[in-house]
């Protein structure tokens, strides 16, 4: 059992790590091409763009066209990384990703930044809370929500190595450091960050940090929680969930997403098919949020360690 408490140390935003990783990738692979839709300075694709202007295209505010161009680039042997706010690239480019990336299984990488409500003040139009559901609906897509800068860097490199479409969700605010820089990262393999025997907290993105804080709070009451960073929603790590269900008996799933179609849905389906166990969820529910400071929003919409603790108590009561 862990002897030291989780120290919430803020690292860089995952979007910033995305830009750095893309630049590093571009240095070693000439086939990497990046396109952005007028948000290059927000998604940090500009980090790549300023070093490789000939391989960077700021297409303007044209998400559908961007996704279509990626199809042509991938078909002619390039590895396009397209980026914008998650809300725009997936909602406005969805048909193009369906016909031009998912169906032909092309090597198109999609980076959706400003995922979740933690983008804050800009409000609902910019807050992507359904991107994971949309991306998971696309056959052949890998769907990944890294929790910190190190996981994001590893995910970008893994995306480039993978031959097929990948969706990466990037976050706007600084993210707490969860992993070591040299973490072992494989799509579809959850990372066990903490062990426990009474329940398992399954989380991704910013909620991984909250899960660790929740686990410490629970430990003070002698409730030891396992924490899994389930960075990949598709393909899901069924083995890790099966072990969690058998060994800990109950699960809480925490994510910055709507209730339907996200990690919670995926975990519940997996457990129902393989190893039934009680599940409680911490998510946005079936609603949109509003403008506000990121921390205020996360508190108001209960995407916090306190909400995870409450869910843990509810799920343990059901065992």
Partner 1 sequence: MTAVEPDTVQELETIARRLRRHAIRMIAGANSGHPGGSLSAAEIVTALYFGGILRHDPARPDWPDRDRFILSKGHGVPILYAALAERGYFPVDELMTLRQVDSRLQGHPVQGMTPGIEASTGSLGQGLSIGIGHAIAGRLDGKLFRTWVVLGDGECQEGQVWEAAMAAANYELDTLTAIVDWNRYQLDGAVEDIQSLVPFPDKWAAFGWNVLEIDGHDMAAVLQALTTASQHRGQPTCIIATTVKGKGVSFMEHNNEFHGKAPTGEQLEVALTQLAE
Residues binding partner 1 (CB under 8 A): 33, 54-55, 57, 59-60, 62, 64-78, 80, 95-96, 98-100, 103-106
Q: Please, which residues bridge with residue 282 across strands?
A: 254
In angstroms, what is the minimal distance from the CB of 103 to partner 1?
5
3 state DSSP class of 252: strand
Do 90 and 110 meet the contact criterion of CB atoms below 8 Å apart?
A: yes
Tell me the backbone φ, ψ of residue 240, rounded to 5 degrees: -65, -35
Please tell me the distance from the alpha carbon of residue 13 to that of residue 189, in angstroms, as a whole number.
Answer: 22
In angstroms, what is the minimal distance from the CB of 17 to partner 1?
26
Provide the annotated active-site residues. 63
Cis previous bond, 49, omega within 30: no
Question: Exposed, middle or buried by CB within 10 Å (0-12, 13-18, 19+), for 151?
Answer: buried
Q: Which is nearer to partner 1, 61 or 272 (CB)?
A: 61
Q: Which is nearer to partner 1, 73 or 251 (CB)?
A: 73
In angstroms, what is the minimal distance from the CB of 104 to partner 1?
4
Do 177 and 150 meet the contact criterion of CB atoms below 8 Å apart?
A: yes
In angstroms, what is the minimal distance from the CB of 164 to partner 1?
12
Q: Which is nearer to partner 1, 76 or 125 (CB)?
A: 76
Q: Which is nearer to partner 1, 47 or 71 (CB)?
A: 71
């Amino acid at each position: 059992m862990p002897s030291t408490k989780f120290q919430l140390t803020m690292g860089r935003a995952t979007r910033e790590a995305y830009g750095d990783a893309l630049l590093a990738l571009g240095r070693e692979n000439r086939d990497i091409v990046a396109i952005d839709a007028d948000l290059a300075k927000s998604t940090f694709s500009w980090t790549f763009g300023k070093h490789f202007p000939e391989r960077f295209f700021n297409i303007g505010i044209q998400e559908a066209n961007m996704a279509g161009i990626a199809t042509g680039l991938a078909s002619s042997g390039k590895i396009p990384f397209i980026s914008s706010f998650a809300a725009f690239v997936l909602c406005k480019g969805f048909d193009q990703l369906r016909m031009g990336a998912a169906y032909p299984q092309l090597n198109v990488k999609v980076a959706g930044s400003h995922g979740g409500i933690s983008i804050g003040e800009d409000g609902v139009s910019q807050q992507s809370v359904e991107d994971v559901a949309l991306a998971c609906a696309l056959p052949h897509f890998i769907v990944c929500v890294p929790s910190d800068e190190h996981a994001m860097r590893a995910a970008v490199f893994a995306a480039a190595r993978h031959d097929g479409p990948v969706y990466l969700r990037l976050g706007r605010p600084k993210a707490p450091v969860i992993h070591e820089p040299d973490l072992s990262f494989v799509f579809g393999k959850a990372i066990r960050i903490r062990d426990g025997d009474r329940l398992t907290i399954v989380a991704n993105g910013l909620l991984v940090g909250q899960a660790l804080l929740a686990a410490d709070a629970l430990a003070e009451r002698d409730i030891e929680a396992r924490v899994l960073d389930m960075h990949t929603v598709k393909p899901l790590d069924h083995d890790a969930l099966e072990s969690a269900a058998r060994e800990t008996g109950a699960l809480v799933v925490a994510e910055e997403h709507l209730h339907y179609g996200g990690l919670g849905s995926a975990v519940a389906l997996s457990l129902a098919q393989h190893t039934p166990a009680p599940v409680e969820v911490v998510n946005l529910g079936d609603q949109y949020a509003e403008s506000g400071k990121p921390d205020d929003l996360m508190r108001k919409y209960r995407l916090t360690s306190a909400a995870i603790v409450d869910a843990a108590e509810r799920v343990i009561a059901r065992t």
